[in-house]
Structures are given as structure tokens and as C-alpha cells.
Amino acid sequence: MGEFLTFDEFLNWDAVAGRFTPPARLAVIGDPISHSRSPQMHNPALKARGIEAQYIRVQVPQGRVAEAFRQFAKCGFLGVNITIPHKFEALAEVDEIDPLASRLGAVNTLAIREGRLIGYNTDGPGFLRSVKETFGAEVKDLRVLILGAGGGAGRAVAVQSALVGCPKLVLANRTVSKAETLAGEVTSLSPKNEVKLLSWTDEALAGILPEIDLIVNATSLGMKTGDARLVPAEALLARHLVFDMVYRADGETPLLEDATMAGAKVVDGLTLLLHQGAISFEHWFGGTAPLDAMREGLRNALKA
């Protein structure tokens, strides 16, 4: 999908820095990383703001995030986005952690200020903005079901939903034990509201969906053709709001197809990518991110 620097190339920065005009000052790291559309979103934003800098991809192996962060600081970078599988490793490698990132338990945005590494998490706030923009609703007013609550994305959404005080939060995971610790944590954050663990079966989902307003897929299922259905299609209702954190360039995910057939309102993960990216941009440069330029960049990337 796009060029990226290998980690060895990045460590030899003096030999590769000249490839980038304007100079590379922002990056996204992950493993793999070639699929990331973050450059197509952030580079138009930089241009719209008149900032002479470029955003690039760097493939960083697991276990080498601390080394990467030191190199970014040494090479004059201003900030970094962190994606799978590095969000938890990044949490341990920053000098200062934003309180929300600490509560969400992961770092997906790094700001480098006077050599200090400041860690943020924009996934939770980006989720809130996405729900507000797409559905015209506030998460604090919705009964939320999270599919895949045992993973990092599910954790961020669950904790953020509890922090804003959603009245009912249902955590579904294939292995219930993986969500038990999270359930205890979100209960402590929002003790007056209902938190429920759900065994992920069609029968259990069909039983709980009448009590749910917002369904969130926090798994990777739906990314590939042939992935299993997440919920029984007949249990989806026209009043449901369905948020699939997966996005595909070739059409809707199976969950969104089923939800659309049921008359529900839907949104995919591209909107989350947009809003979490906008919040990252605001951490780096202040003010309000040029959302229109970022949205257009993502649309063009999908067309390509």
C-alpha cells in the first residue's frame, strides 16, 4: 500500500533522511506497517496548516520500541503514532504518561518535547467523537455492548465508556476470563452503572441485544472475506447503532452488512482512524486539527 522504512534503515537515519522533502518529522510505527493509511491522513493536514514536515511509516519489531523512541528523539521528530503490536510496550517506554493513557492502559501517540517522551491515548476520545459525529449521540447516554472486550481496542472503548458513565456496559469475549479483570476495573470507574460479562454465544447475544443501544466490534473479525459472523443477524434491530472498528476498502464488513439490512445506523473504523488521528495532531501542534483535509486524504486513499 505504501513505502516504509525498515528498522535498520531508520537506525541509519543520516543515509535515508534525504529521501524526504519536506523533512520527515512525524511517523507511525507498527509491525507490519505498510498497510497504514495514517500518512495519507496526516500529510494533507500538515499541508493545510502550512507545516514544513512529512509523516512516514517505520516498521519496528517487537521489543525495540524503546530504541525506536530514542532514535526519533535524536533525529528531531516531533511525534509518533503507535499501532499494533506496540501500544502496551510504548506505555512502559515514555517519560511521562497522560492520565487518560494510564487509565486506558496503552499509548498510541507520542509527543516529543525538548527531548522528553510524552505518551497519550487517542483511541478512547476518538471513539467518543466518532459516535457523536456519526450517530448524533453521546456514549454517556447509551447502553453499550463491546465484542472482543479482552483485547487492547476493547479495553480502550470499555474504560472510556465507563469514564463517561454509560448506564450499561456489556463485555463479550470468546474467553470470558480475559474480560474479568477489565470488568472489575470498569465497575470501579463507574460503580453506579451496570457492568455485565457475557459469554459470547449466539444465544447469549440474542438475549442481550434488546437491552443494547450501541454495538461495538473491537475484534479484527470482518477484515478478511470469509470471517465469521459476529452476532446473529436476526437479533439486530433498526434502532441499533453499530460501530465496527474494522474497515475495508472493498465494502462493508459482514457485521455492517447485517446491520444495514436490519435498518440500523452503522459506521466503520475509518471514522475512528480519522478522529483519533485528529486528536494526535492536536497533541502535537495545538488548536483544532484540519479535519476536512484529513477526511479527504483518507477518502482518496480508499479510492486508490
Is 292 inside a domain boundary? yes
In this predicted structure, what is the pLDDT of residue 267?
96
| Residue 2 confidence (pLDDT) | 57
- 2 part of a folded domain: no
Co-location of 115 and 71 in the same domain: yes
Residues 189 and 281 grouped into a single domain: no
The DSSP secondary structure of 219-252, one letter per residue, reads SSTTSSTTPPPSS-GGG--TT-EEEES---TTS-
231 belongs to a structural domain = yes
**Strand pairing report for 168-173 and 194-199:** parallel
Same domain, 238 and 150: yes
pLDDT at 247: 83
Query: What's the pLDDT score for residue 1?
Result: 42
Angle in degrees, CA 235, 273, 229, rounded to 5: 25
Same domain, 184 and 195: yes
Q: Are residues 116 and 16 in the same domain?
A: yes
**Contacts by 277-282, CB closer than 8 A, 24 or more apart:** 277/38, 277/41, 277/42, 277/81, 277/122, 277/126, 278/45, 278/126, 278/129, 279/109, 279/120, 279/122, 279/125, 279/126, 279/129, 280/79, 280/81, 280/108, 280/109, 280/120, 280/122, 281/42, 281/45
Per-residue pLDDT of the chain (304 residues; tens, 9 = 90+): 458 999 999 999 999 999 999 999 999 999 999 888 999 999 999 999 999 999 999 999 999 999 999 999 999 999 999 998 999 999 999 999 999 999 998 999 999 999 999 999 999 999 999 999 999 999 999 999 999 987 778 889 999 999 999 999 999 988 877 788 889 989 988 888 899 999 899 999 999 999 999 999 999 888 787 888 899 999 999 999 999 998 887 778 999 999 999 999 999 999 999 999 999 999 999 999 999 999 999 999 888 7
Q: What angle do CA 143, 255, 245 make, to 5 degrees?
A: 70
Residues 116 and 128 in one domain: no
Report the pLDDT value the prediction gives residue 84, as an integer from 0 to 100.
85
> Are 299 and 170 contained in the same domain?
no
CATH number for 292: 3.40.50.10860
174 and 276 housed in the same domain: no
Same domain? For 138 and 113 the reply is no
* Structural domain total, the chain: 2
Q: Is 87 a catalytic residue?
A: yes
In a domain, 1, yes or no: no
Give, for 299, the enclosing helix (H) or strand (E).
helix 291-303
Task: Specify the CATH number for the domain of residue 195.
Answer: 3.40.50.720
The catalytic position among 87, 196, 224, 265 is 87
The domain in which residue 287 lies consists of: 7-121+271-303
Give the Cα separation of 213 and 166 in Å (integer): 11
